[in-house]
């Protein structure tokens, strides 16, 4: 019998990524995530997920040109964004915008391999522009279009903050996107594949994924980490005392543990190094210093309890994103930007060997009840 939440159930095969939670290993198409994060770019990882191998220089240059050609927002889509309330949840705005994109695509319902690849590239290119444009509009600023010759990471920070990032900030953003690009059969990926299993269109599939990622149990963990950091900082309380009190009160310390990892989340190791560099350069190490104190306190508390629990990728991404000037309520939307190539890579697999995903359920309700006439109820 399946565990609650389908735990332990294998729902399909994939060549895209694998997680060994016992040793803290994550691979994309055969490549270790640490190797990819240190030695490739987000664009290279997108190509890898869609093609099974990293590009050579000529392939990468052509791929970047294709991404750049698809990154600008049309006047029609800008008009859609202008109609959205300025106080809307950015994930709700993104979900609505991606759904709207499908209405402007005359080939939206075509799911040939070539068409799915075209839409995968388009959505990966345009999603950062959508997120940045909505943020500027809700703050009373005009959206900025991406600059030619810049990476996805560089353009996103430029379109969001109105100034070109330096090399450290650009590289930090790029690595964060690489680390979040793919993560096996997580909830939003499964939602996308379930939608694709009905032979629905790519835009509907990604809308399903965004709606699933929007939930705080999936995509919003780094927001809760930042809330925790701010709570401790504003209270002036000793981090170790706060952690002890939280655990004694049965409160979860955000950013620790993961559904699939029983060892250190390999993505957290890379982000910790990036956090050190970017915050030192910014001259503001408050959030990192606080994070390190919380991590040390958690290690002590777990040792006393005879347990082991490690930081996950959300623990450091929260302070990294804050240092990059990304508003806290955009954290999950940044997650969606990064995960779009992973979602669409799964769609390529699903459509290529499709079967309707239709699990069974175990009925635990009553039996043998009889209808009583309405006037006698």
Query: 3-class DSSP state for residue 20?
Result: strand
What order do you get walking across the sheet with 25-28 strand by strand? 17-20, 25-28, 31-32
- 183 annotated active-site: no
Contact 225, 320 (CB under 8 A): no
Closest by alpha carbon to 323, among 277, 254, 270? 277
**Rounded to an integer, what distance in angstroms lies between the CA atom of residue 145 and that of residue 132?**
9
- 218 annotated active-site: yes
Residue partners of 287: CB distance under 8 A and separation at least 6? 229, 279, 318, 319, 322, 323
- 346 annotated active-site: no
- The active-site residue out of 218, 244, 276, 292 is 218
Q: Which two tokens stand for residue 151?
A: 């990476």
Tokens 């690489």 belong to residue? 178
For residue 79, the Cα-to-chain-centroid distance in whole angstroms is 26
Contact 311, 265 (CB under 8 A): yes
- The active-site residue out of 180, 183, 258, 346 is 258
Contact 279, 287 (CB under 8 A): yes
- Which residues are catalytically annotated? 218, 258, 314
């Amino acid at each position: 019998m399946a565990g609650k939440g389908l735990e332990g159930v294998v729902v399909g095969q994939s060549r895209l990524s694998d997680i060994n939670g016992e040793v803290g290993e994550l691979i994309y198409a055969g490549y270790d995530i640490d190797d990819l994060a240190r030695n490739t770019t987000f664009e290279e990882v997108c190509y890898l997920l869609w093609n099974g191998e990293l590009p050579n220089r000529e392939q990468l240059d052509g791929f970047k040109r294709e991404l750049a050609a698809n990154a600008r927002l049309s006047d029609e889509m800008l008009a859609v964004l202008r109609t959205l309330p300025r106080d809307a949840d950015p994930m709700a705005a993104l979900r609505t915008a991606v759904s709207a994109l499908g209405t402007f695509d005359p080939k939206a319902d075509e799911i040939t391999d070539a068409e799915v690849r075209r839409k995968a590239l388009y959505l990966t290119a345009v999603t950062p522009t959508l997120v940045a444009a909505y943020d500027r509009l809700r703050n009373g600023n005009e959206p900025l279009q991406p600059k030619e010759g810049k990476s996805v990471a560089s353009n996103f920070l430029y379109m969001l903050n109105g100034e070109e990032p330096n090399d450290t900030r650009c590289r930090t953003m790029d690595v964060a996107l690489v680390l979040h690009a793919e993560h096996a059969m997580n909830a939003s990926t499964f939602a996308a594949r379930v939608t694709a299993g009905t032979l629905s269109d790519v835009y509907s599939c990604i809308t399903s994924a965004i709606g699933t990622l929007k939930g705080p149990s999936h995509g919003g963990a780094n927001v809760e980490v930042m809330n925790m950091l701010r709570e401790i900082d504003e209270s002036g309380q000793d981090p170790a005392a706060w952690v002890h009190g939280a655990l004694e009160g049965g409160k979860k310390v955000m950013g620790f543990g993961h559904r699939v990892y029983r060892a250190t989340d390999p993505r957290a190791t890379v982000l910790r190094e990036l956090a050190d560099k970017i915050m030192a350069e910014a001259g503001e190490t408050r959030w990192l210093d606080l994070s390190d104190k919380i991590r040390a306190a958690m290690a002590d508390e777990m040792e006393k309890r005879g347990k082991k629990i490690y930081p996950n990728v959300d623990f450091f991404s929260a302070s990294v994103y804050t240092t990059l000037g990304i508003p806290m309520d955009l954290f999950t939307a940044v997650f969606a930007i990064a995960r779009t190539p992973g979602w669409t890579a799964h769609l390529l697999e699903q459509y290529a060997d499709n079967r309707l995903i239709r699990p069974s359920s175990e009925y635990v309700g009553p039996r043998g009840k009889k209808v009583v006439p309405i006037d006698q109820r």
